Amino acid sequence: MHGIGRWRRACSGGKRQRRVREPEIVMPRAVIIGSGNIGSAVAGRLKAIGYDVVMANSRGPSSLTDHARRLGITPGTLEDAAGAADFVLIAIPQHAVAKLPPRLFARTSTETVVLDAGNYYPRLRDGTIAEIDAGMPDSQWVEQQIGRPVIKMFNTIHAGRIADAHRPPGAPDRICLPVAGDDVAAKARAVALADLIGFDGIDAGPLAQSWRQQPGMPVFCTHVPTAKATAALAQARHDAVEAKRQEALDRARRWSRDGADVGRLPAG
Ligand SMILES: NC(=O)c1ccc[n+]([C@@H]2O[C@H](COP(=O)([O-])OP(=O)(O)OC[C@H]3O[C@@H](n4cnc5c(N)ncnc54)[C@H](OP(=O)(O)O)[C@@H]3O)[C@@H](O)[C@H]2O)c1
């Protein structure tokens, strides 16, 4: 989003006043829906590169006082999440996407890139989502729920690694983040964002192919650099999606790393 110049009155020797345009620096802005592990980790990186970050959750701004102090985010409401921003990140459990206010993004600019970090963990955390169980990629379902295109990103990395494993460009152990979606320009902006916050983003194809980066697939939470991530995406087998998801769920339950309380029944 571009900065808007500001006008001020300039004095020239006490005689005539003329108006001059002062350059105004407008901070890039991101909105994060979800104040948990992944939302907080990404917020920290965005703040580090100079973003103004608004965060919203289901409990409202008063629950975000500590986040504001710790991360420097601005607490917001879900409705704020639909306002002007360069990026909106959806970082909530999959089942909760269906509980977002209807038409939340109706007035959001088409320029805003909506990122989805979610993973579907059926039954224990996310209940049953028939469309995904029937084969729809997780983020295509999200896109359908919110009624606007999404870019799948950040679902393949543990929140802790976002906070502590960012690296400068060219570092041999720089982690690669697959970025899937149908809008090529939006995807390019997401890849550029990954780079700015310390990761190599790669175009992982259209959203219809995003099952390649879902839970349990070879690239999922392996935190590998670009060459290995590219090979892992190519190795993914569609007929293994459900079996691999189950393996990932079992692992997540054992390790309690990814998965946002995957051992807890979703509320409601
Ligand atoms: N944890 C990881 O390392 C990791 C890595 C990659 C991807 N993921 C995926 O990212 C998603 C989020 O994971 P997480 O670990 O960050 O979860 P989390 O720590 O449990 O946080 C979930 C957040 O979602 C918010 N939320 C829940 N229902 C909501 C609703 N209806 N409206 C608005 N906000 C709502 C919660 O806010 P309230 O507390 O106010 O309800 C909370 O801030 C999941 O799909 C997960 O699988 C996680």
Domain with residue 84: its CATH number is: 3.40.50.720
Residue 141 CA to ligand 1 center (angstroms) comes to 17
Supply the DSSP symbol for 99: T
Cα→Cα distances 235→35, 184, 228, 250, Å:
33, 23, 10, 22
Ligand 1 atom having least distance to the Cα of 121? 47
Residue 206 CA to ligand 1 center (angstroms) comes to 24
Cα→Cα distances 66→33, 63, 70, 126, Å:
16, 8, 6, 27
Protein residue closest via CA to atom 15 of ligand 1:
260
pLDDT score recorded for residue 10: 41
Indicate the SS3 state at residue 61: helix
Structural domain span for residue 162: 29-255
Residues with CB under 6 A from ligand 1: 33-39, 57-59, 63, 78, 91-94, 96, 99-100, 117-119, 154-155, 158-159, 258-261
pLDDT score recorded for residue 218: 97
Q: What is the pLDDT along the chain (268 residues), one digit of tens a residue?
A: 433 333 344 434 445 556 666 666 678 999 999 999 999 999 999 999 999 999 999 999 999 999 999 999 999 999 887 778 999 999 999 999 999 999 999 989 999 999 999 999 998 789 999 999 999 999 999 999 999 999 999 999 999 999 999 999 999 999 999 999 999 999 999 999 999 999 999 999 999 999 999 999 999 999 999 999 999 999 999 999 999 999 988 887 776 554 444 444 333 2
Residue 19, in any domain of the structure: no
Query: CB 245: neighbour CB atoms within 10 A?
Result: 22
Residue 265, in any domain of the structure: no
Residue 17, in any domain of the structure: no
pLDDT score recorded for residue 254: 75
pLDDT score recorded for residue 20: 64
Question: Quick check: pTM over 0.75?
Answer: yes
Protein residue closest via CA to atom 17 of ligand 1:
260
The phi, psi pair for 32, rounded to 5°, reads -120, 120
Q: How many domains does the chain divide into?
A: 1
pLDDT score recorded for residue 265: 32
Residue 8, in any domain of the structure: no
pLDDT score recorded for residue 17: 59
Cα→Cα distances 41→27, 144, 192, 248, 250, Å:
20, 26, 18, 21, 24
Residue 23, in any domain of the structure: no
Residue 160, in any domain of the structure: yes
Strands (DSSP E) found in 94-163 = 113-116, 151-152
Residue 67 CA to ligand 1 center (angstroms) comes to 14
